[in-house]
Amino acid sequence: MKVLVTGGAGFIASHIVDRYIADGHDVAIIDDLSSGKKENINPKAILYRLDIRDEGIDEVFGKERPDIVNHHAAQMDVRRSVSDPMFDADVNISGTLNILENCVRHGVKRFIFASTGGAIYGEQDYFPADEAHPERPLSPYGISKLAVEKYLFYYKAVHGLDYIALRYSNVYGPRQNPHGEAGVVAIFTGKLLRGEQPVINGDGAQSRDFVFVDDVADANMRALESAETGVFNIGTAVETDINLLFKTLVDIAGADCKAAHGPAKEGEQLRSVIDYKRAEELLGWRPAVSFDGGLKETVKFFKEK
């Protein structure tokens, strides 16, 4: 099949591109390289350097005629979404609508969307959260992802565009940016390997559901091959607090570093963990990489880099 992957030079989507190509699919990438990197791009993929809001997207669809669109291009910084919600909506909602309109215009069969499992549910009523949990996003980023899910329902009902939305928990692994605001695993790993002091926000008791990027790529492979529709949590159903994450990374990296705590981040979610039973039952997906195993792969990648 011909697959068009937006954001395909980025951390998560570049792994998905690799998986699609390894499985024999033809892949084209749309990425403006604002956060993605050329070094992440599989040499067998075609790159179109474009913003998803550009009119030139129509020309790409016309030339490539994709069967499937996998949409990962996004404004993904939660804190930037809070400081500039109009920019977040412009990229994540208007940009996605530009892609969706082109899907309809050019006869795309299926749309795979990278959504969020942590930011959509907000502070949870129960743990782990399944897909029926109330959706109470506490950031414009979470709101924009939820809005797109609603648009996907509309495009299927009105235009017949089949879709699947994968609600990721906290994805980590090789190629994640260690210098950004998001991605605590990469940030801590980068600092430890450079001999710098990572700072834990608040008391470090806040918990997250960490899922390895190879498992996420596998979920996207299954989403490509499946006829299922709707939303699916992609996580591990295991809570890990930031203090334990720090200790484990120090041990793996062999760093001589003690925990240091800074002020808590205002509005930071306290607990986040999602249930993957629906993905297991309908997609045949479950996380395969252990927390320790994934962290070892991540540290190894950053050491070699």
pLDDT digits (tens, 9 = 90+) for 209-219: 999 999 999 99
Please tell me whether the overall predicted TM-score, pTM, comes out greater than 0.85 for this model: yes
Q: 2-171+210-237+275-283 maps to which CATH number?
A: 3.40.50.720
* Structural Rg of the chain based on CA atoms: 19
CA-nearest of 117, 118, 82, 78 to 271 is: 118
Q: Where are the domains of the chain?
A: 2-171+210-237+275-283, 174-207+238-271+290-304
Q: 174-207+238-271+290-304 maps to which CATH number?
A: 3.90.25.10
pLDDT, tens digit, for every residue of 79-88? 899 999 999 9
Q: What is the mean pLDDT of residues 247-259?
A: 97
Q: Catalytic amino acids?
A: 141
The Cα 69–Cα 253 span in angstroms is 38
Q: What was the pLDDT predicted at 181?
A: 63
- Dihedral sign for Cα atoms in the order 231, 111, 99, 161: negative
CB 126 within 8 A of CB 134: no
Do domains 2-171+210-237+275-283 and 174-207+238-271+290-304 share one topology? The answer is: no
Continuous H helices in the chain: 11-22, 57-64, 78-83, 85-89, 96-105, 118-121, 140-159, 184-193, 213-225, 242-253, 277-283, 291-304
pLDDT, tens digit, for every residue of 116-172? 998 999 999 999 999 999 999 999 999 999 999 999 999 999 999 999 999 999 999
- Token pair belonging to 201: 């926000």
- Token pair belonging to 283: 């997609």
